[in-house]
Amino acid sequence: MRHYFFVTVIAMLFAVFGLFSCNAAAQASIKSSDQPLYENHAYGFKVKLPPDVTYTWTVPPNPDHGFGLALQGRGELWVDASYTDSLSAAEEAKNQSSGCHVEERRSTKLGNRPAIALRFSCPAGVDGDAYKELLVLTVSRQGDRSPAVYQVAMRATTSEVLSQNKGLFDKIVAGFRFVL
């Protein structure tokens, strides 16, 4: 199960950062001063971005799940939406933190919907180095579609990198809105 989870997360990160795309023109690297609002019509959300942030996203028809950005130090932040088999945010949070030490779990909002916020740390394994992660997620169903997980996540190898970038993470979470 843990291997499946890490493979899924890695595939999701590749999709978010456009690493699966063979067509460099299918990726966009944009400064928030040029485009301060990221809009995702495929999953029905938008994110108001803080000034002077450079983010990368894949453009349709390639996977159009969200965007990512590199952080100061060794870390990354991403906003992602993708279909899930989980029927609730609690179930998805449990899946995403499986095998890790959950340091904090609390109720919050993402956009205007109930969400779960997690802070957890995962040991090194065959899938990579040890890391720490902040995650805010919700699971939602739109009409007759499958459930989708919407998440804002920040991952780094040290707590210091997470602390240095916590303000940016909070601004991204605060700027997230559903449009469906």
Q: Which two tokens stand for residue 30?
A: 């944009």
Reply yes or no on whether the pLDDT at 167 is more than 90.
yes
pLDDT digits (tens, 9 = 90+) for 47-73: 999 988 999 987 766 678 999 998 977
| Cα 116 from Cα 139, distance rounded (Å) | 10
What is the model's pLDDT at position 62?
Answer: 67
Residues β-bridged to residue 79: 67, 152
| Cα 95 from Cα 91, distance rounded (Å) | 6
CATH topology of domain 2-178: Protein Transport Mog1p; Chain A (3.40.1000)
Reply yes or no on whether the pLDDT at 117 is more than 90.
yes
What is the model's pLDDT at position 22?
Answer: 38
pLDDT digits (tens, 9 = 90+) for 37-49: 999 988 999 999 9
Q: Could you tell me if 124 and 99 are in contact, meaning their C-beta atoms sit under 8 angstroms apart?
A: no
Provide the 3-class DSSP secondary structure of residue 164.
helix
Q: Which two tokens stand for residue 134?
A: 């902040």
| Cα 30 from Cα 53, distance rounded (Å) | 8
| Cα 162 from Cα 166, distance rounded (Å) | 6
What is the value of pTM for the model shown? Answer: 0.81
Chain mean pLDDT for the chain = 84
